[in-house]
Amino acid sequence: MAQTIELSIDGMTCDHCVNAVTSALKSVPGVADATVSLAGKFARITGEGLDAKKLIEAVREEGYEAAVR
């Protein structure tokens, strides 16, 4: 069964940031889709067996802060 996790993302300032966060999230195992909003400063991730800690770690590796909303 698909699940959805939303993360608040801090530190994004442009479309490049959005693309970097989106790519990082999509590289995490189990992620089917990731939608990142620059204006809303959040990401909505859907997939199977999602691990919030791994998603946050992927965002932090790109240089941004993330937390479960």
pLDDT tens digits, 7-55:
999 999 999 999 999 999 999 999 999 999 999 999 999 999 999 999 9
At 38, list the tokens. Answer: 């620059």
Say how many CA atoms lie within 13 Å of 58 toward its Cβ. 21
Domains of the chain and CATH, by start: 3-68 (3.30.70.100)
Q: What is the pTM of this model?
A: 0.95
Q: What is the DSSP string of the chain?
A: --EEEEEEEES--SHHHHHHHHHHHHTSTTEEEEEEETTTTEEEEEESS--HHHHHHHHHHTT-EEEE-
